[in-house]
Amino acid sequence: MKCNACMSRSLFVHVCREKCLEDNCPICHEYIFTSNAPIKALSCGHLMHSSCFQVYTCSHYICPICSKSLGDMQVYFGMLDALLAEEKIPEEYSGQIQAILCNDCEKKGTASFHWLYHKCPYCGSYNTRLL
Q: Model confidence over 36-95: pLDDT tens digits?
A: 999 898 888 899 999 999 999 999 999 999 999 999 999 999 999 999 999 988 899 888
pLDDT digit string, tens, across residues 90-114 = 899 888 999 999 999 999 999 999 9
Edge-to-edge strand list for the sheet holding 97-102: 108-112, 97-102, 128-130
Nearest to 126 by CA among 73, 83, 54: 73
Question: Does 8 have pLDDT greater than 90?
Answer: no
Query: What is the predicted pLDDT for the residue at 89?
Result: 87
| CA-wise closest residue to 102 among 93, 92, 111 | 111
Query: pTM of this prediction?
Result: 0.78
pLDDT at 21 over 90: no
Amino acid 131: pLDDT = 94
Which residue ranges form the domains of the chain, and what is each CATH number? Answer: 1-71 (3.30.40.10), 74-130 (2.20.28.10)
Q: Please choose, from the candidates 73, 110, 78, 106, the residue with its C-alpha nearest in 3D space to the C-alpha of residue 95.
A: 110
CA distance 40 to 61: 15
9 pLDDT higher than 60: no
Cα separation values, 8 from 5, 12, 67, 129, Å: 10, 9, 26, 36
| φ, ψ at 78 (rounded to 5°) | -65, -40
* Cα 100 to Cα 8: distance, rounded to the nearest angstrom: 38
Q: What is the pLDDT of residue 43?
A: 86
